[in-house]
Structure 1
Amino acid sequence: MPQGWERVMTDVRTVWSGKALLGEGPCWDAGRGVLWFVDIKNRRVHRLDPASGEARSWDAPAQVGWVLPAQDGGLVAGLQTGLARFDPETGAFTPLADPEPHLPGNRLNDATVAPDGSIWFGTMHDSEEAESGRVYRFDGRDIADSGIAPVTITNGPALSPDGTILYHVDTIAGVIHAVPVEGGQAGEPRAFARIAPQDGNPDGVSTDSAGNVWVGLWGGGCARLYAPDGSLLREVKLPAANITKVALGGADFRTAYATSASIGLPEGEDAGEAGNVFTFQVEVPGRPLPLAKLA
C-alpha cells in the first residue's frame, strides 16, 4: 500500500436513480446551482437541482458527451456531430463547429474549460476499435488539434487550477498523462498515474482547488484521488462497477457527484445501482469551473 494512501469508506448517497446506460460529463453549474450530466447512449441531457431534488431531462439530436455553462449565460454541448449551443428553454441544439466531419465513426466524449474560456475536449472511436480519438481546443470560434497522439478512447481532459497542466486519459492503456500547456498550446505528455488492469480503467478526470486529480474507475467500482505529484491519496468505494467521472460542487464545493454506467457489466451481473449518480463529501473543495467562451 502506498504511503499515505487512505481507502475511505465514506457515506455515499444516491441522488439520481435514472439508471443511465452511459452516465457521463457531470458538471456543477455554480450560477444556476445545479448539476448537469448526460446519458451518452440514450442521447439525453440531465439536470439535477440538489436543493429541491428536482430533475429534468432533454433529448439530444445525437450522442451527447457533455454540457458546459457559457459566458453568455447559455450552454454548449458536445455532440457526436460536433459542438452546439444548447438552449434548455426550447430544447434546441444549434451547431457551432465539427472537429471531425471526416470521421463519422467517432464521437465527442469528455471536456473541460480553461481559465481563458477555451474548451478542451476529446473524441473517441464509438466502437472502441480504432486509434482515432484526439484532443482538441475550441477558442470560442475555431477548433485546433492539440497535437497529442491519437488513442482509441480519450477521457478527461481536465486542467490544473492555473491552467498550466492538462490531464489527458488514455483509458485502454490505463494511463493518465500530464501535459504542459502554455499559450493554448499543448506540450509533451508524461505519465502522471498508471492504473493496474485489475483495478479498472481510468475514465473521466477532474481537479480540485489544490490541484489534486479525481478519476472514476470503469470496472473498479470506485473513485480515486491523486496528488499533483501522482501519489495516490484516497479511494472511495461506490455502489456501481463502472464509475465514469467525479465533479465537485454544492455551495462550498465539498460535495462530490459521481456518474456511472449500466452498460459494460459482466454477463449475469445484477445492475443494482449501476447508471445512477452518487454523492459524497470531500475534504479539499473544488472550485467554480470557468465559463466557456463562445463567439
Structure 2
Amino acid sequence: MNSARCIHDLKSSLGEGPVWNHGEQALYWVDINGQIIYKWQSDEEEPHAYHLPEKVGCLSMRERGGLLLGMENGFFFFDETTEALTAITDPEPDQPDQRFNDGKPDPVGRFYAGTMSPEKGGAAFYRLDTDLEVKRMFGGVTTSNGLAWNLDETKLYYIDTPTKKVSVFDYERSSGVVSNGQTCITVPEGIGKPDGMTIDEEDMLWIAFFGGSIVGRFNPDTGEWLETIDVPASQVTSCTFGGPDLKTLYITTARKNLTATDLEKEPLAGGLFAYETNVRGLPAYTFLG
C-alpha cells in the first residue's frame, strides 16, 4: 500500500501551501487559521514558526530575499529576519469576507493567486506582475486552489474546488495571459474535493483531496487516474515535491471542524506528511518582483 508517513505532528487547523526552497533545502508551509508560517530545514528536528497578524493563504520565495504572501488583505512581503510585513496591494478592498487562498509564481517570476468567497462565484483569480501591478485574470471563482504549469510552459492547470474538476488554460509565457479554459480532469464522486496540486517531470498532476484521505496522480491529457497515496488524515490540502532529489512528496493536512470522535480516528490530522515517489518533481519558481 502506498501510504504517507507523518513527519511533523503539528495539529494545524488548516495546514496548506507547501513550497520547497531547493537552495536552502527547506520546506515552507502555512497554517491558515493559526496565522502561522512554518519553515523546516531538513537537517533540523522541528520547524520554526512565524506568527502573523492575519491569515496567510499562500507564499512563495522572493528573489530579493524573504517571502511574498497572499493574505486576508492582499499581497505582502515578509522579512524572515525581522518578521516585518510590508503591504503591496489589495485587489479586493471592498470584500472583507474574502481572502487569498492558493497561489504560485509562474516560470518567469510573476505571481498568480486566487481568492475564496462565501458566495458562489464571488471570488477571482489574479496576477501580480514583477512591477507590483496586479491584474484580474478572471472572476466567477468560489474557492481558488491548485495551480501548476506544464513542462513546456504552454499550459496552466487550475482548480476551483467546488467545480470538482481541473481546468487547463492556454498560457502565454511572454505576456502572462491565460485563455481558453477547458476541463481536463473530472473528479470521480466519493473521493473528496480537489484542493492543492503539483506537477512532476513527466507532466503528471498530483492532487490533494480534501475529505478523501488521499493524494492522486493523474494524466491531464487523458484524465486517467494513475496512482493513489493514502494519507492517515481525511482533510488533505496540498502537496509539493522536495528533498535533495525532488522525489519526496510533502503533503499538508487540516483538522478544522473535525469532531472529537473524528480526531480519535485520525489523531495525526493537521500534520505534515511525506511520501517517497519514483518520479522527480519540478523546482518551485521564485517571485522576481
Q: Which interval holds the TM-score relative to the shorter structure?
A: over 0.9
Among candidates 250, 253, 256, match of residue 246 of structure 2: 253
Whole-angstrom distance in 1 between the partners of 2:151 and 2:11: 32
Q: CA deviation at 1:283?
A: 1.4
Specify which of 255, 263, 270 is matched with residue 256 of structure 2.
263
Residue matched to 1:91? 83
| The one of 33, 39, 42 aligned to 1:41 | 33
Tell me, in whole angstroms, the C-alpha distance in 2 between the residues paired with 1:100 and 1:273: 35
Q: Which residue of 1 aligns with 2:157?
A: 167
1:286 counterpart residue number: 281
Q: What's 2:98 paired with?
A: 106
- TM-score of the superposition, structure 1-length normalised? 0.92
Confirm or deny: 8 A CA contact 1:113 1:119 kept in the other structure.
Answer: yes
> Which residue number corresponds to residue 4 of structure 1?
none
Any runs of at least 4 consecutive aligned residues in structure 1 with deviations exceeding 6 A, and if so which? none
**Are 1:24 and 2:19 an aligned pair?**
no
1:238 maps to amino acid: V
Q: Does 1:204 align with 2:196?
A: yes
Residues 236-247 of structure 1 correspond to what in structure 2 (within 5 A)?
Answer: 236-247=229-240
Alignment CA distance shift 1:69-1:15 (3 Å): same
Q: Distance in 2 between matches of 1:233 and 1:114?
A: 26
Which amino acid letter does the alignment assign opposite residue 66 of structure 1?
A: C
Q: How far did 1:133 drift? A: 1.8
1:235-275 Cα deviation digits (max 9, x unpaired): 10101001001110110000010000001436731241110
Distance in 2, Cα, partners of 1:151 & 1:261: 22
Aligned-pair CA distance for 1:197: 3.4
Give 1:103's aligned amino acid: Q
Provide TM-score, normalisation by structure 2. Answer: 0.94
Percent identity, please.
31
User: Is this contact kept in 2: 1:27–1:36, CA < 8 A?
Assistant: yes
Aligned match of 1:6: none
Structure 1 unaligned blocks of 5 or more: 1-8
1:25-67 deviation line (CA, Å, top 9, x unaligned): 0000112111000000111111112222231001112110122
SS at match of 2:190: helix
Q: Deviations over 1:57-94 (max 9, x none)?
A: 01112110122111112211111111111111111111
Matches of 2:106 and 2:150, distance apart in 1 = 9
1:11 Cα offset (Å): 4.8
The answer to whether the Cα contact below 8 Å between 1:26 and 1:37 also exists between their aligned partners in 2 is yes
Deviations for 1:133-166, whole angstroms, at most 9, x for unmatched residues?
Answer: 211111121111112x422111122222333211
Aligned equivalent of 1:3:
none
Match of 1:5 in 2: none
Which secondary structure state, in structure 1, belongs to the residue aligned with residue 226 of structure 2?
strand
CA RMSD of aligned residues (A): 1.4
Structure 2 alignment gaps of length 5 or more? none
Decide whether aligned partners of structure 1 residues 139 and 162 sit closer, same or farther in structure 2, where only a CA change above 3 A counts: farther
Contact 1:122 1:156 in 2 (8 A): no
Contact 2:149–2:155 under 8 Å retained in 1: yes
Q: Which moved more, 1:271-280 or 1:251-260?
A: 271-280
Whether the 8 Å CA contact 1:112–1:156 is kept in 2: the answer is no
Whether the aligned pair in 2 keeps the contact of 1:158 and 1:205 (CA below 8 Å) is yes
Distance 1:197 1:263 in 2: 22
